[in-house]
Structure 1
Amino acid sequence: MIQNIIENYKNKLFLVAYSGGMDSTVLLHQLIKIKQKNRQISVRAIHINHNIHTNSTKWKVHCITFCKTYNIPLIVEEIDINITNNIEEQLRIRRYNLIYKHLLNDEILLTGHHLNDQCETFFLSLKRGSGPTGLSAMSVETSFGKTKIIRPFLNQTKKELKTWANLNNLTWIEDATNFNINYDRNFIRHKILPILEKKWPFFLKNCFRTTKICNEETILKNIFLKEKIQKFIRFDEALNIKNFKNFQEEICKALIRYWISLKNIKIPSYKNIQRIYNEIIHNQENINLKIIIQKNEIRCYKKSLYFIKIKKNIQNMILFWHNTNYKLILPNNLGYIIKNNKKGINIPAPQNNELINIRFQYTGKILILGKKKQRNIKKIWQEYNIPPWLRNQTPLLFYNDELVSALGVFVVKKIIKNIDESNKNEWNISWISSIPFNYDNNFNFN
């Protein structure tokens, strides 16, 4: 299997996730033997020391010694974090982030996951009530940022790998925590799978076949959804659900789930997807629905679903722009404000004694340029189709305590009328941001 992988890729750069355990030791040793015959390939290893075991330092030294013996470059990274909840998942995330940081361009990550790992993952997904996507467990090949993760042992049992290791007189680390059945994976490994294998010796192979079928079904479904969803994704990446009420429930939920998957986050639970359907698509009443998914929100506005990254509340923040020759950096990655000569909003310049400041909240009635009467600012936001979560993220320009403009949206008419036409002093300012505004009139705020 490893030989086939090497032959299939032109850029023969490989990084092995090397824990020092039996699986990764067999993987690394097989690559070393192949490299001895094929000098074109490049092999490196990376060891992540989790620092959660008393023998962590010994294991690190073992990995360093093994790689030094075979002249394999080894990267060692330390994880020193205090985790109390969901330890396995949190460590996995940190581990893969560290590994990705060290991957070279065109370098492929290889891991020692085997058939037993696959079945354990399948049962964990079954426990969580996952659908076909979750029950697909791990794939032999997975995209990993700009490169790939390949698991060459996924159709081989742990017993087969151990036989190979013993034949080659390999030594490896035995982690005692792998026998702690308080961890879900270990419980499945030591209490569930042995019983099933004893009753049905072919169980692991059939389990792998099931994951493969689920994976194929998921791929086919995603091909269909990828084509269909293009009709509903707006220019600002929102999901237009105006006509979803005419679709079958299963299609609606599949489209919503696929749309969220495009955000590269963990797919929300079945319960949350069902809630979106029941409270928005089916009833079309709960327009203020907000579902938290990790550090994001799913929001509904004007018959569309929006995927919003949760930002810090800055409603009470005031930023003073003392020197307009320099750009003013805004919080929450909202970009910056600059003064320029020709582009941007043309407005009266402040008087010498006026303090230029930026705020993110205003209440009350105002008269804006192009209108004949005052209106509540909430109505103005609605007229310009500014969704609620952007209203307190839009920079409001003030001279002292007087509102001048919501940058990129409107200019207050009062400030224009107060300027003596014979001594008119104007300036142009621009708000430079990547926020996709939802204007029907395509207002250009740059």
Structure 2
Amino acid sequence: MSTLYNNFSRFMAANVQSDSRCVLALSGGIDSRVLLHLFARYVRENGCPAVVVHVHHGLSPSADQWVDRCRQWCIEEALPFQVEYVVVDKTGESLEAAARRVRYQALQRYIGEGDRLLTGQHRDDQLETFLLALKRGSGPKGLSCMAESMPFGRGRLLRPLLTVSRADIEVYATSFQLTWVEDESNQDTRFDRNFIRHDVVPLLVSRWPDFPQAVQRSAELCASQEALLNELLQDLYLAALQTNHSLSVHHLLTCRESARAQILRMWLHQLGHPMPSRIQLSNIDHQVLQARADANPKLRFGEHEIRRFDGFLFCIPVYPDISDWQCQIKLNQSVELPDGLGTLTLTETSSDAGLNRQCLAEPLRITFNPEGLMASPLGRKGRHKLKKLFQEYRIPSWQRRRIPILMSGKHVVAVANLFVDKHFSGSDCDLIWDTMAEFMSESGQEHRK
């Protein structure tokens, strides 16, 4: 079994810098248990900074016992141990996908600049992933499956056991008399991966013993083809990409449909989203990208939406509706805005672009609902609907109910960081919205070209 450690040690030497901290994801199953044993020896011999993290999903009745056993193993190996408790939202995606998503979100909090996250996937996992991708009809990106090393947060994710078979891992665990936990859900063939593991792979391997190695080669070839394709399209992608992470519709429409699809994949991957299906890409192309010029198209993509505005394509979160939210505000008072939109402060000031005391004649309130409201911005003639003013200010449609509006009775006093109504302009007080980060990053005002 020294061969397995020697291979592990060489992999670590090639992928871990001397000052990199290593974070090991320990589920407690046999794969991560063997990884912990190898890792502990490597840390003793090389002295690299290390921490072990167990993510408690709460999906198994044995979940608390798994925490205790993982903690005990780390005590025995003299490794720091942390537990992350997460809640898995079981709606909108498969339980497997939801658990994986929250698990990696929790682990990412431990990864600083240059750190390495170690996970225990092996060659048989790669085979299962390949067959699942094949079932979905994936292209080269999906069929390239899992990489031994890939960017993750501010560091990298490493899979040191990816070329090792499950059988070799079991032999190692037995030879060192290691114990591990068994997740009862791993036997449930209602889950696609378990069905492939228990019913499909044994049949394939009994007929073709070298099938796992052949799949590994195919995955590597697909990864190589995907990398080459991205390299060839890199200039087109960079030409379309804007500083606010949107894409130029004009640049996209000058490309072939197949090239557009790959650029969209590159874009979504860069933003950290899962790869879209062929149907999703087709819908983005035809329903959003090529919608009529005066349309306000959108397409749901997981917990995000693909939107088009002012000649650019955006991928934005699905925001909660806060248009019914209201709150009073007084002079020299700060109000916490909903949904992480910062604070709004009404403060005394000598600013020439502020408000007069007339606005204080009635109680002031904050709203986010522009429906039916009109205003007379300072420096303009007449009264205009806020909807029209937002269009003129080039505010994306999805942001128009996320900008604080200051009201005095039924009158618009100001729209935060956009304008003051001329009837309330003065130098007695000022309205300060402390953050425009979200608003500016998605507005049409920061395009590179």
2:407: which partner in 1? 398
Give the 3-state SS of the residue equivalent to 2:358 in structure 1. coil
Give the 3-state SS of the residue equivalent to 2:250 in structure 1. coil
1:7: which partner in 2? 13
Q: Work out which of the residue numbers 382, 385, 389 in structure 1 matches 2:391.
A: 382
Contact 1:279 1:286 in 2 (8 A): no
Q: Work out which of the residue numbers 138, 141, 152 in structure 2 matches 1:130.
A: 138
Contact 2:12 2:160 in 1 (8 A): no
State whether structure 2 residue 125 is matched by structure 1 residue 117.
yes
Does 221-230 or 382-391 show the bigger shift? 221-230
Give the 3-state SS of the residue equivalent to 2:222 in structure 1. helix
Contact 1:6 1:12 in 2 (8 A): no
Does 81-90 or 373-382 show the bigger shift? 81-90
Give the 3-state SS of the residue equivalent to 1:205 in structure 2. helix
Q: Work out which of the residue numbers 145, 150, 158 in structure 2 matches 1:142.
A: 150
Counterparts of 2:173 and 2:359 in 1: how far apart (Å)?
A: 80
State whether structure 2 residue 224 is matched by structure 1 residue 216.
yes
Give the 3-state SS of the residue equivalent to 1:316 in structure 2. coil
Aligned in 2, Cα 1:410/1:102: closer, same or farther, shift over 3 Å? Answer: closer
Contact 1:343 1:429 in 2 (8 A): no
Paired residues in the alignment total 433
Q: Work out which of the residue numbers 419, 423, 444 in structure 2 matches 1:410.
A: 419
1:17: which partner in 2? 25
Aligned in 2, Cα 1:427/1:439: closer, same or farther, shift over 3 Å? Answer: farther
Q: Work out which of the residue numbers 153, 157, 160 in structure 1 matches 2:161.
A: 153
Give the CA deviation at 1:125: 1.5
Give the 3-state SS of the residue equivalent to 2:75 in structure 1. helix
1:101-125 C-alpha deviation (Å, 9 max, x unpaired): 4557654222221100001011112
Counterparts of 1:163 and 1:279 in 2: how far apart (Å)?
A: 53
Counterparts of 1:163 and 1:415 in 2: how far apart (Å)?
A: 79
Give the CA deviation at 1:217: 2.1
Give the CA deviation at 1:287: 2.0
2:208: which partner in 1? 200
1:431: which partner in 2? 433
Contact 1:345 1:430 in 2 (8 A): no
Equivalent position amino acid for 1:319 in 2: C
Contact 1:279 1:285 in 2 (8 A): no
Give the CA deviation at 1:87: 2.0
Contact 1:350 1:399 in 2 (8 A): no
Counterparts of 1:347 and 1:206 in 2: how far apart (Å)?
A: 72
Contact 1:197 1:204 in 2 (8 A): yes
Counterparts of 2:96 and 2:243 in 1: how far apart (Å)?
A: 38
Equivalent position amino acid for 1:22 in 2: I
Q: Which runs of 5+ in 2 are unaligned?
A: 1-6
Equivalent position amino acid for 1:382 in 2: Q
Aligned in 2, Cα 1:210/1:33: closer, same or farther, shift over 3 Å? Answer: same
Q: Which runs of 5+ in 1 are unaligned?
A: 417-423
Contact 1:280 1:286 in 2 (8 A): no
Give the 3-state SS of the residue equivalent to 2:133 in structure 1. helix
1:229-275 C-alpha deviation (Å, 9 max, x unpaired): 22223343322202433321112222223223232222333222211
Contact 1:12 1:40 in 2 (8 A): no
Counterparts of 1:143 and 1:271 in 2: how far apart (Å)?
A: 27
Give the CA deviation at 1:95: 2.7
Does 191-200 or 260-269 show the bigger shift? 260-269
1:332: which partner in 2? 339
State whether structure 2 residue 111 is matched by structure 1 residue 72.
no
Equivalent position amino acid for 1:308 in 2: I
Counterparts of 1:380 and 1:65 in 2: how far apart (Å)?
A: 63
Counterparts of 1:238 and 1:441 in 2: how far apart (Å)?
A: 10
Identity, in percent, stands at: 27
Counterparts of 2:408 and 2:176 in 1: how far apart (Å)?
A: 78
Counterparts of 1:200 and 1:241 in 2: how far apart (Å)?
A: 48
Superposition pairs for residues 289-300 of structure 1, below 5 Å? 289-300=297-308
TM-score normalised over the length of structure 2: 0.85
Aligned in 2, Cα 1:398/1:156: closer, same or farther, shift over 3 Å? Answer: same
Give the 3-state SS of the residue equivalent to 1:242 in structure 2. helix
Aligned in 2, Cα 1:39/1:288: closer, same or farther, shift over 3 Å? Answer: closer
